[in-house]
Structures are given as structure tokens and as C-alpha cells.
Amino acid sequence: MESLPASTTRPSRATPGALVIGQSGGPTAVINASLVGAVRTALASDLVGGVYGARFGIRGVLDRDLLDLHAEPPGTWDALLRTPSAALGACRFRLDDDTTLQALDGLRALGARYFIYIGGNDSADTAHRLAQAARAADYDLRIICVPKTIDNDLPATDHCPGYGSAARFIALATMDSALCTLTMPDHYPVKIIEVMGRDAGWLAAASALGQARPEDPPHLIYTPERPWRAARFLADVRAVHQEYGFVVVVVAETVRDETGQALGAIASTGVDAFGHHLLSGAAQYLVSLVIEELGLRARFDKPGDLQRMSSLAVSDVDRREAELVGRAAVQAALAGETDKMVTLVRVPGDEYRCEMGLAELADIANATRPLPPAFLSATGTSVTEAFRAYALPLVGAPLPRYARLGAAPHAW
């Protein structure tokens, strides 16, 4: 991992060049904060001759569909800092050899010298392809990626902007849904909560961050890092139900069985441009299994897109860091860096703090960082204190502690 230059230095070129910025992949609650950080830094630099936003990610470059961000009223950026989703629009579009050259032609025609792309694993692939093609064409184009994904699965960075807010949302949603189940445990004693996370269990693990007591839900967590076994799952649910009278289960949508088959593939709706399966159905499958095999009534909650970009549970830490990585990306490009992604580097110590770094896109594109074994219990169905120490600083303000009535029953 490389260190980000401490200050901006002038690249070896005589005239300022345009900067193009795009957003890609699933939107988050704080992706616009990265946009704001990048745009404000670019507008303040005399090395940048114009700042343009590509609408719908790289498709905006291909279609020459750009916004002149210099023309936006200054007050827009203050409001956008706290606006969820992707203001420029996003995409899931994979470049091939022809479209890569087409994109370079469009950027060259604009006089672009800097390209900033905000996204995750697939966006890193797009940016890396462009950087390689620009280098081969001897085109002086500085390309920097800004990390963004609720999946938190990008290599080389401590965590990813977007994850802290999504983790906070899932922790709160699990706490609230569990209380609803506890209210009438004889009505629907088993609750299955399905969360996103692609091929890593970071978001599912975050469901445990609101636990205040060992008996607090979620009682069982299933992540893609451990093979799912039907017999073990049913035994786990039965045991928890016998002990507490109700069960709250959190399952990642990409949990797979021992054969590698994703439970959510039951209702798969195809694949996206990068070949990732569009899954649906893990929770439905588990509910059916519980009903049929255990004879217990069960239902599921599936937050869907809300967990990705809801403004209801934004982490102040997440928003602040999202803005910082946007700034750092432009600073790195202006300093002459290219084919890199900004990273967050956690500083050891009692107080949580991160510094900015840089990593090679070649090490990030299409790669996945799973949940480390040390963050999961021996059974794989709960998290460890090491995970809590890692994740709690990222969700911002302390999570609420709900009260329970503890008085002894009154005999009458």
C-alpha cells in the first residue's frame, strides 16, 4: 500500500485539463459526499480547467452525456453532502476493448486530464481498463478510484465508505424487527432477516452490533464465508426456540450450501453485466424449510434497497470519510498519480482514526475481501468481540439501548 502524497504538486503539463467524475454501482447513503469532496477540491484547483459529471457512470462518457458541475450554484454542494443515492446516476456496465477506446476518445475530445470514478470492485475494473488503455495510447490521463460499497469487500482498504451507514441501518433494523417478533412469539416465533453483501458477510455480521446481552437477537447469523447445511440450520433454530421461545435469524442473500449453490438462486433473475447473479429467495427458502421441517410459523423481513442508501441511519463517521476520500482522489490525480484507488488506513491506538492511502487498481479490480475468520465465532453463527471492535467505530453515534421490563410477575 502506498501513502497518499502529503501535498498537491503540479504535473508536468503547461495547461489545465478537464476533470470528469462519475458514480457507479449500487448507490449508498454517502456516495454523494464523495462527489462533493471531489468536486469542491477540483473547483478550487488552478490545475483543473473544467469539472464535468458523467451521467450514469461510464455510460455518460460513452454517450457524451455530461453535466457542467462548475455551473451548479454553490449551495447545491452543501445540500448534496446529506443527500442519499447517486446524484449523477450510476450504472453496471462492463467495458470491452471497443468501448474502452470509445471512452478514451470521448475523454480526449473533452480535453480531460483527470478521471475520478466512485464505485466498488466492478468500477475498479472499469477504471483499470481505462488506465491501461490510456497508457498504451500515450494519453496523459490520470485515473483514480474512490471506494464505495456497502459490501465492504474491497481489498487494500480497512473499510469502504457506504458500509458504516448500511451497517448502522441493519443493526437498528434487526433490533426493531426482533422486538416485534418478541411481542407475539407464539404468533410468528421465527423471523428471517435477509441482507445484502454480495459474496462477503460484512453486512450480515453488522446485525449483531446492537446486542447488549448474550440472549439478544440475532440469535443466528449465516454468512457466505461458511457453507450452509440444512440439518445444522434446523438444529440451531430448534435449539434457540426451545431456549428463548422465539428465534431471529440473519442471512446474507448469497449464502451457499455445501455444493456451492446459493440459497437465493431459487428465484434468480439472471446476471448483471459483470456476471454476478441477481439473487432473490434465500429468506423465502428458509421460511419454507422452518415451516415444513420444524412445524413453526415463520416470516421474513427483507430491507432491500433501503439498507443500501436510506438516509434514516447515516453514520456521521461514514459521511465524513466519504467526503475525505473524494477529496483525496482529486489530490492524488493532481499530484500525478494514476491507476490507483484511495484507501482508508486505520491508525493503531485507543481512539479511532483513519488516514488516506493509495493502492494499485490491478490488486482491487474484480477482487473480493471476505470476512476474516477471526471475526466469526467457532460455530460461524455469531460474531466475535474482534469484529465489534472493528465495526462499532464505523457506525457513528452509539446505538440505542432498548429497555425491557424486568419486574417479577404479580401474583393475584
Q: What is the pLDDT of residues 213-263, one digit of tens each?
A: 888 999 999 999 999 999 999 999 999 999 999 999 999 998 999 988 888
* Range with lowest mean pLDDT among 52-61, 114-123, 270-279, 353-362: 270-279
Residue-wise pLDDT for 348-375, tens only, equals 999 999 999 999 999 998 889 999 999 9
Q: Which domains does the chain have, with CATH numbers?
A: 2-161+313-363 (3.40.50.450), 165-311+370-395 (3.40.50.460)
Please tell me which residue in 68, 98, 122, 151 is annotated as part of the active site. Answer: 151
Mean pLDDT of 274-289: 71
The predicted model scores a pTM of: 0.92
Instruction: Examine the pLDDT at 294 and tell me if it is beyond 70.
Output: yes
Give the whole-angstrom CA distance, residue 1 versus residue 67: 34
Pairing of strands 142-147, 112-119: parallel
C-alpha cell, 210: 446492537
User: Taking 70 as the threshold, does the pLDDT of residue 98 lie above it?
Assistant: yes
Three-state secondary-structure class, residue 180: helix
CB-CB neighbours of 183 under 10 Å: 10
pLDDT digits (tens, 9 = 90+) for 111-122: 999 999 999 988
Is a pLDDT exceeding 60 seen at residue 276? no
Is 151 catalytic? The answer is yes
CA-angle at 377, arms to 372 and 378, nearest 5°:
105
Sign for the pseudo-dihedral over CA of 249, 255, 259, 263: positive
pLDDT at 12: 43
pLDDT by residue (tens digit) across 5-51?
A: 443 333 444 478 999 999 999 999 999 999 999 999 999 999 999 99
Whether residue 339 contacts residue 365, with contact meaning beta carbons closer than 8 Å, is answered with: no
- Give mean pLDDT, residues 291-296: 96
- Across the chain, which distance is largest between two alpha carbons, in Å? 90
- For cell 424486568, what's the residue? 406
Q: What percent of the chain has pLDDT over 70?
A: 92
Residue 322 and residue 27 in contact, taking contact as beta carbons nearer than 8 Å? no
**pLDDT band for position 405 (50/70/90)?**
confident
At 384, is the pLDDT very low, low, confident or very high (cuts 50, 70, 90)? very high
**Sequence-ordered alpha helix ranges (H) in 193-274:** 202-206, 230-244
Cα separation, 106 vs 85, whole angstroms:
26
What number is the average pLDDT over the span 304-332?
96
